[in-house]
Chain A
Amino acid sequence: MDTRPVLTFQPDVYNRMLDDARKCFPDECCGFLFGEENGANRHFSEILIVDNAKEGDKRRRFSITSRDYMKAELMAAKLNLTLLGVYHSHPVHPAVPSEHDLNVAMPYFSYVIISVYGQDDISVRSWKLNDERQFEEELVS
């Protein structure tokens, strides 16, 4: 039996996230996901799409401003939801965290990665740091 944590999305949240990945292609998109926890499982019911603030080539890197981060924390408090994670896309690349993703990752957050090879060739996987600062996969349902 698979014991990995399960992530579920409100359909409109999932669709908006994928639309953002398509729209930004071939650049990386990024944003925040909010929702509730049930044990290790998580349900995402709200999304905040933000600009990729990375200077220069955005096809292999993303960055979110501190202002947008603080906006996300305020939004969570206002909606009485938990800021549970961050999503970003990997254009023409698998939905697997890069070395750079690992170096910058924070504990607790789900890191949802959208692999985009074309408008209809998209897959989603999610990762979370364990106590040894290694990524473990969560199941995207």
Chain B
Amino acid sequence: MATVIIPTPLRKFTENNARLETDETTVKSALRSLSEKYPDLRRHLFDDSGNIRSFLNIFVGEDDIRDRNQGDTPLDSNTVLSIVPAIAGG
């Protein structure tokens, strides 16, 4: 099973779990599955069009999925998938 690391600001939506396991095989299906398990998490992961929110950076191991195959980036049982919020402002 792949491991998903939940960032601190989203843990209130995952019953304070910092790490979750998933048997999904792509990034997008893993995040969808999480949203089904924790419905309040959904709007923080996906925009209105169902795409992964642009203000989130998703890493598979040390690779940003934008440098791999975006949401179709595959997961295997050893993968660590990190959700990293973009911290910025003005």
A-B contact count (CB 8 A): 69
Contact with A along B12-39 (1 / 0, CB 8 A): 1000000000000000000000000000
A117 contacts partner chain B, Cβ-Cβ < 8 Å: no
Total interface residues in chain B, CB < 8 Å: 20
| Complex-state Cα separation, A83 to B88, whole angstroms | 16
Closest chain B residue to A129 by CB distance?
A: B9
| Residue among A69, A84, A108, A111 making CB contact with B84, cutoff 8 Å | A69
Chain A residues near B8 (CB-CB < 8 A): 73, 76, 82-84, 108-109
| Residue among A28, A63, A98, A103 making CB contact with B87, cutoff 8 Å | A63
A43 contacts partner chain B, Cβ-Cβ < 8 Å: no
- Residues on B close to A: CB < 8 A? 5, 7-12, 44, 55, 57, 59, 64, 82, 84-90
